[in-house]
Amino acid sequence: MSIATNISLVSVKWLNTNLNTENLIILDATINKQIENNSERIPNARFFDIKQKFSDTRARFPSTLLSTQQFETEARALGINNGSFIVVYDDKGIYSSARAWWLFKTFGFKNVAVLNGGLPEWKKHYLRVEPYKEELIEKGDFTASFQTELITDFNGVNQFSQDSKTLIIDARSEARFNCLVDEPRQGLRRGTIPNSKNLPYTELFNGNILKSKEELLKIFDNLVREETHLVFSCGSGITACILAMAASICNYKNLTVYDGSWTEYGTLT
């Protein structure tokens, strides 16, 4: 049996039931994880290294989008096939897993979902974990296709900020958005992108679990008016993807993530 569905979110119960499905690939997208003998994972998970392999490490800003060729090469090294179904998680609940989800979408892979609640929710239900170990992974055949409309840069976001049909939504905390506290990145000035609105990503959760579609719709309906295009920003392009995923679940279309986010914008302006 194989899985072929365009859902964006799966429960720990669903994943546990489908662990042995032949085309399922589970990815651990925890940021800065040290894979050691005592590192735990959901059974058969493979490490999706956002910082070192799935970002452009030569770029000026953190977590910068990598090239199409590099993404395809690294995804194939993880055994990703065009016919795979991917479930991605992290150790915070839903954090960097949403970035991995968006990267796959950006490079043309649609059959990918985030584990709702991630590893904390998995362990909360006393489901089995195992240690990482050396494994030989058969190279996949995934073919990347860059979807330019899903990502924007400094020049693009400047244009969007002046477009009445576009709403820029910032996932940072209210204190950071309103310039009440310093940015965590040393030397980065406080500030906001012109004409943007604030929606802290933490408001989308009940504990580790993403709020229901109905609850999320109410949140977005309080922000979105006549705009037909939503652009998401944050500190460095990670939590913006949580907003993008939630908006996608709510059936919003025409969604874009500002890759450099405030780290880039605050540096270049």
Instruction: Please check whether residues 183 and 205 belong to one and the same domain.
Output: yes
- Joined together, the tokens standing for residue 31 give 């940021």
At 211 the pLDDT is 98
Indicate which residues carry an active-site annotation.
Answer: 234
At 5 the pLDDT is 61
Nearest Cα neighbor of 11 from 252, 208, 251 is: 208
At 223 the pLDDT is 96
Instruction: Please check whether residues 106 and 22 belong to one and the same domain.
Output: yes
Residue 134 has pLDDT above 90, yes or no: no
Bridge-based pairing of strands 151-152 and 209-210 is: unpaired
At 106 the pLDDT is 98
Query: Cα(222)–Cα(220) distance, rounded to whole angstroms?
Result: 5
Instruction: Please check whether residues 175 and 47 belong to one and the same domain.
Output: no
Domain of residue 250, CATH code: 3.40.250.10
Where on the phi/psi map is residue 19: left (φ > 0), alpha (ψ -120 to 50), or beta? alpha
Tell me the average pLDDT across 176-204.
97
The answer to the question of residue 181 being in a domain is yes
Residue 95 has pLDDT above 80, yes or no: yes
Tell me the average pLDDT across 133-161.
96
**Per-residue three-class SS string for the chain:** CCCCCCCCEECHHHHHHCCCCCCEEEEECCCCCCCCCCCEECCCCEECCCCCCCCCCCCCCCCCCCCHHHHHHHHHHCCCCCCCEEEEECCCCCCHHHHHHHHHHHCCCCCEEEECCHHHHHHHCCCCCEECCCCCCCCCCCCCCCCHHHEECHHHHHHHCCCCCEEEEECCCHHHHCCCCCCCCCCCCCCCCCCEEECCHHHHEECCEECCHHHHHHHHHCCCCCCCEEEEECCCCCCHHHHHHHHHHCCCCCEEEECCHHHHHHHHC
Contact 83, 23 (CB under 8 A): yes
Counting the structural domains of the chain, the total is: 2
9-63 pLDDT per residue, tens: 999 999 999 999 999 999 999 997 877 667 899 999 999 999 999 999 999 998 9
Instruction: Please check whether residues 27 and 109 belong to one and the same domain.
Output: yes
Nearest Cα neighbor of 201 from 163, 235, 171 is: 171
114 is in which domain, residue-wise?
Answer: 9-146
Count CA within 13 A, CB hemisphere, residue 186: 0
Residue 3 has pLDDT above 90, yes or no: no
58-88 pLDDT per residue, tens: 999 989 999 999 999 999 999 999 999 999 9
Instruction: Please check whether residues 176 and 129 belong to one and the same domain.
Output: no
The answer to the question of residue 25 being in a domain is yes
Instruction: Please check whether residues 126 and 205 belong to one and the same domain.
Output: no
At 4 the pLDDT is 52
